[in-house]
Amino acid sequence: MNIKDLRYQAWQKLKENYVEAFFVTLIYLIINSIGGYIVENGPFIISLALFIIYIPLTIGVYIFYLRFTKGNKVTIDMMFDGYRKRFVKAIGLGFMLRLYIFLWSFLLIIPGIIKALSYSMSYYIFDEKEDLSINEVISLSREMMKGYELELFLLNLSFLGWVLLCILTCGLATFWVHPYIHVAKSNFYLKVKKEYYDKELISAEGYYQD
């Protein structure tokens, strides 16, 4: 999988239709800023409640960008799909992912990073596979990502310069960088998914031929 191609395709996709991505980023940053302020200054119970409620918003942003990357018709309110559909399941998925990653990181940092990469397709799968349980979603992400963890790590690393640009521009560049990263990672998921199911099909054909 070519990282340059993933980024180029993401860049082209954003150039075609940037308006919705801009407003999703704007709304997300506003909510994130307000929530961050409350978490830092409010009582623990409110901070915990906000943390839990914030999970479906994060999932909704992933859902928006996945559909955006597919070329589907998208609307800004799709970023709130995590609240409208399977709200409890969305919170459960976010909680379990954080728990698993924390437990692995508690052992050693490197295994925690690897597992975070391994589980990183879960929010996309959550949108596409509504019938799967939380653990099935996480397991499928782990299966899909076998052998691709390093590639995703390098993709993330390739955006380091853009993240620094966000800092240097006092956050202004975020309105392009945030969608850019999300579209590139959504594209990564679509390619990993295709390769995974292509392998599954070949394995199944080989099984039946035997």
Name residue 112's amino acid: G
Task: Determine contact, residues 1/188, Cβ cutoff 8 Å.
Answer: yes
pLDDT of residue 203: 53
> Where is 195: in which H helix or E strand?
helix 174-209
Task: Determine contact, residues 156/7, Cβ cutoff 8 Å.
Answer: no
Task: Determine contact, residues 22/174, Cβ cutoff 8 Å.
Answer: no
pLDDT of residue 2: 85
Tens digit of each residue's pLDDT (9 = 90 or more) over 95-122 = 999 999 998 888 788 888 999 999 999 9
> Rounded CA gap, 167 and 173, in Å?
8
Q: What is the mean pLDDT of residues 60-85?
A: 92
Three-state DSSP state, 1: coil
Tens digit of each residue's pLDDT (9 = 90 or more) over 155-201 = 999 999 999 999 999 989 999 999 999 999 999 999 999 999 888 76
Q: What is the mean pLDDT of residues 79-104?
A: 90
Q: What is the DSSP letter of 28?
A: H
pLDDT of residue 206: 44
Here the tokens at position 205 are 């054909």
pLDDT of residue 95: 92
Name residue 93's amino acid: L
pLDDT of residue 26: 95
pLDDT of residue 44: 76
Of 15, 3, 90, the residue nearest 53 (C-alpha) = 90
> Rounded CA gap, 60 and 111, in Å?
27
Mean pLDDT of the chain: 89
Q: How far is CA 202 from the centre of its chain?
A: 28
Q: What is the DSSP letter of 129?
A: -
- Indicate the range of 28-42, 132-146, 149-163, 184-198 predicted with least confidence: 28-42
